[in-house]
Structure 1
Amino acid sequence: MKKNIAIIMGGYSSEVHISLKSGNVVYNHLNREKYTPFRVHILKEKWVVLDDDDTEYEINKNNFTFLKGITNTKFDCVFNAIHGNPGENGMILAYLELLNIPHTSAPFYQMALTFNKRDTLSVVKEYGIKTAISVYLNKGDVINADEIIAKVGLPCFIKPNNAGSSYGISKAYTKEEVLKGIETAYKEDSSILIESFLNGTEVSVGVIQYKGEIKVLPITEIVSENDFFDYEAKYEGKSQEITPARISPEEKSRVEAVAKKVYQALNMRGFTRAEYIFVNDEPHFLEINTVPGMTLQSILPQQAAVAGISLYELFENAIEMALK
């Protein structure tokens, strides 16, 4: 009997449109002989299932089912394609776990932890993973730009603590730009992270559970046309994404070992993609994305293709791992 799969997409953050694109790619690449997929839009104003003609059916939030005519449909598994809140921060996953519905992401606590950049850094540092120097601020804190610059140096990066797709991130070269960057980051989140600039080759490393094993996918080198790997570089073609990365065998071996160690240290499951920068041949961890983009242009699907894994295989594996 075919399994009913809810592909949740949308969300409550600035990443809603990217999430809808990712979710539709998943919907179009599921094996219809094994699964009956449903597009489920999780939006601030509504939770609905969409038919192929875009007719909407309201989700019953009491049990995550929906009624079409006299048929009440339950889901056997949820494929999480929500970037940001509430999919990537664990909120909706806690709800699904209360309902005992399997999903393709890590448990809600791990998702909440890794969505918080500061807390993620605090964990990986305990495992000896190299990172940038950082300063953490909450909205309302006194801002002493001179002290910040003395600690992290210039240029530096200012990031929202809980956000993805490079929304709200800026690179500052002067004290004035630091202050402006803080203001920009606070528009996305009430807590922010200011990090030292790491000068070196940037790579993106996908790590997934594949057929019961932790698998490091082929590494992607990021060469941004912009000043850094920002939203335009990620989604509007303003970067080169070279897979496999043009790094030495020693660098490849080091970053693969670190990426696997990070995945295990954070108790991850399902998909992840983390960014690293090589400084003196040593990979420095930047951040981890636990609901990476699944559009045809996204990095992790590109890496899977180089590894010989089709989108059909990638998505089916995620569902089967969740069901087990």
Structure 2
Amino acid sequence: MNTNKPNIAVIAGGNSSEFVVSVKSGANLINAVDTDKYNPWLVEMQNDRWEVFQNDEKINDIDKSDFSFMLNGEKVRFDFAYITIHGTPGEDGILQSYFELIGIPYSTCDVHSSSLTFNKWFCNNYLRSQGVKMAKSLLFTQGESIDPKAVVEELGLPIFVKPNAGGSSFGITKVKSIDEVEAAINKAWEESSEAIVEQFIDGHEFTCGAVKIKGEKTIFPITEVIPKNEYFDFEAKYTPGVTEEITPARLPEPLFKKCQQLTSEIYDYCKCSGIVRIDYILKDNTFYFLEVNTTPGMTGTSFIPQQIAAMGSSLKEIITQIIDDKIG
């Protein structure tokens, strides 16, 4: 280990159902860190287990008092944290608060922005107030009585039921009949204490990434998402061949620009930082907002690496710029 180079923690894992995907994102990101400039270390977190790895070998436990670890009798301190946990505690502001307290710069949105975007209900209502178009929705808190008839009268059928906070691909149900409403809400409650029930918008799904480095924003090319499943669920998201993904999306230039412009505006409305991905449904030439992902998937097949490649850049180049910007 070169002691003159900054130590970079790539943090993966987390406490949600998306643990496995996060670990894959971490493995891909650690390979993208420029070892000529930095010493990368993989930190895997799950509940109170915080462990540091190098070359798939556990080195030690992390000292949570200052986010350091011991190596050959020497204390190793981190200069930067690259957070790639999908779900809690890496996407909801909890880990960001910890790094703020101990003074370690990190890659993602700050505490406020992370917690806002992680809570779909809060984020939807805030963005709606800024004029962003999206599906109508209702919120149900765990234990609340459910009136399926009232839900269907308000939102129609089919509807989507999803956890308000948590790994966005888990606990989602497309409900087609009134007698499925209650079971779907209960399923979402297994992932989050609140469930969002959303009006179904029959359109095509698109997703667009963005990053701001040294005050300059780059909007990535858009990806068109064509799930072979009925909707973009966990299997469609992470099983090769289940979804067709086209980057850049086959959109007329005015619509392509419209989506990138909307992505740029939402990035600013939510005061985002680092790499963010925003998902949409396109219907009748209008983009309807779905969600903001502030720690988007970074596996070899994920959207963001595809978009960066389509832009003619590399993950290594973008990651280097993010780290340099934050620790420079």
TM range (shorter): over 0.9
Deviation at 1:140, TM superposition (A): 1.3
Partner of 1:126 in structure 2? 129
Which of 231, 248, 251 is residue 255 of structure 2 equivalent to?
Answer: 251
> How big is each residue's C-alpha offset from its partner over 1:38-62, in whole Å with a ceiling of 9 and x where there is no partner?
0111112411111325133011111
Question: 1:227-242 residue pairs with structure 2 within 5 A?
Answer: 227-237=230-240, 238-242=242-246
**CA distance in structure 2 between the partners assigned to 1:15 and 1:163 by the alignment:** 9
Q: Does 1:139 align with 2:150?
A: no
Deviation at 1:211, TM superposition (A): 5.2
Judge conservation of contact 1:165–1:234 (CA < 8 Å) in 2. Answer: no
Partner of 1:216 in structure 2? 219
Partner of 2:283 in structure 1? 279
Which of 6, 9, 14 is residue 6 of structure 1 equivalent to?
Answer: 9
**CA distance in structure 2 between the partners assigned to 1:19 and 1:5 by the alignment:** 17
> How big is each residue's C-alpha offset from its partner over 1:20-69, in whole Å with a ceiling of 9 and x where there is no partner?
11011111121111000001111124111113251330111111110112
Question: Match for 1:207: what amino acid?
Answer: A
SS at match of 2:221: coil
Moved more, 45-54 or 253-262: 45-54
Taking only aligned residues, the RMSD between alpha carbons, in angstroms, comes to: 1.2
SS at match of 2:291: strand
Partner of 1:76 in structure 2? 79
Length, aligned pairs only: 324
**CA distance in structure 2 between the partners assigned to 1:304 and 1:211 by the alignment:** 18
Question: Match for 1:61: what amino acid?
Answer: K
Judge conservation of contact 1:254–1:282 (CA < 8 Å) in 2. Answer: no
SS at match of 1:285: strand
Partner of 2:58 in structure 1? 55
Judge conservation of contact 2:138–2:197 (CA < 8 Å) in 1. Answer: yes
Question: Match for 2:260: what amino acid?
Answer: E
SS at match of 1:113: helix
> How big is each residue's C-alpha offset from its partner over 1:253-302, in whole Å with a ceiling of 9 and x where there is no partner?
21111111100000000011111111220111011110001111000100
Q: 1:205 and 1:100, CA in 2 relative to 1: closer, same or farther beyond 3 A?
A: same
**CA distance in structure 2 between the partners assigned to 1:226 and 1:65 by the alignment:** 44
Judge conservation of contact 2:281–2:288 (CA < 8 Å) in 1. Answer: yes
Question: Match for 1:34: what amino acid?
Answer: K
Question: Match for 1:96: what amino acid?
Answer: F
SS at match of 2:278: strand
**CA distance in structure 1 between the partners assigned to 2:110 and 2:137 by the alignment:** 27
Partner of 1:320 in structure 2? 324
TM-score with structure 2 setting the length: 0.96
SS at match of 2:297: coil
Q: Which runs of 4+ in 1 moved over 2 A?
A: none
**CA distance in structure 2 between the partners assigned to 1:53 and 1:200 by the alignment:** 43
Partner of 1:203 in structure 2? 206
TM-score with structure 1 setting the length: 0.97
**CA distance in structure 1 between the partners assigned to 2:224 and 2:81 by the alignment:** 31
Judge conservation of contact 2:16–2:167 (CA < 8 Å) in 1. Answer: no
